Structure formats: structure tokens, C-alpha cells
Homo-oligomer: A and B are copies of this chain.
Amino acid sequence: VSRDGGDPPPGAAATAAAEVEAAHRGYYAAWEAGNLRAVADAWLEAEDVCCVFPGAEPHLGSDDVRRLVTEGVELTPGIQFLFEQVDVTVRGDVARLSCVENVVTADTFSLSDVTDLPATRMGVTSTFVRTPDGWRLWLHTVGPVITHLDLED
């Protein structure tokens, strides 16, 4: 967990970062549980929300994003997520979380069914906005990590 750019004392920043990580984990737990309402309600109710799923163009606005994530939950029964490299930073009322998401799917769905992308390892970058009801997703981008790709070679 990194901190930067904030006025609050370290304790407040650490608390905010912990809240953001809890919001992130709660979102994915709701997805695993198939809780459509909780998944949708993890997002800001706003026209400027943005969601990018692996291989897809950006989706914008509450209606489109909620439809997208609802369909995503319905398409992935039995999915489970394991996270690595979780990093959270808070700047005022906006937070950024990045991590690597490892996906374990039931036999019913694999991203590799519809594309050549590997299905099990994703890079995730999210931003959250602080609201009176807690941290809500503002931006959420998921893309495949190509494990054999090393541009530095």
C-alpha cells in the first residue's frame, strides 16, 4: 500500500486505503456470489463511470456499465478471483487500486472460448470515489496479462 499527495496523517490515509481495498474485495465477492444488485451498486450512480473488460472497448455511463457487469456476472457462474500485487493510493476523495487478478473459472465459461487471450491472469486498474455511503467505482479496467510477453527482452 502506497500513499502520496495527501494532507491527512498517515493513520487516516492507511484507513482510507484499507477501505478502498475492502470495497474492491467486496465488489469481487459480490461477483463470485452472483449478487447482481451488490455488483451494480458498487459503482457510482453517474454518467461518467467507465468500465473496460478484456478485449472490449470502453463502456461509459451508469446504464451501460450496469448492464455490462450484470451480463458479466450472469456469464461467469462459479468464477473465483485471487489477487496479487494489490496496491492502493489515495488522493483526496479519489483512490487508485491496481492488482493482478487470477481467474479460476468453472467449465461453463472461458475467455479463451471466444478469443486467443489467455483466460487466467488479468491486470486490473480501478479508481474509486469517496461518497457518503463509502467508496464507489468510477473507473475499472481489466486486461489480459500475456505471461510469455516480455518487451524488455
- A contacts, CB < 8 Å to B: 2-5, 46-48, 50, 52-58, 60-61, 71-72, 75, 85, 87, 89, 91-94, 96, 98-100, 114-117, 123-125, 127, 129, 138-139, 141, 143-146, 148-149, 151-152
Contact = CB atoms under 8 A, between A and B. Distances in A.
B125 A50 contact: yes
Given A114-B149, A143-B143, A149-B114, A91 B89 contact: no
Contacts of A94: 91-92, 94, 127
Nearest to A100: B57
A67 B37 CA distance: 42
Given A87-B60, A114-B151, A125 B52 contact: yes
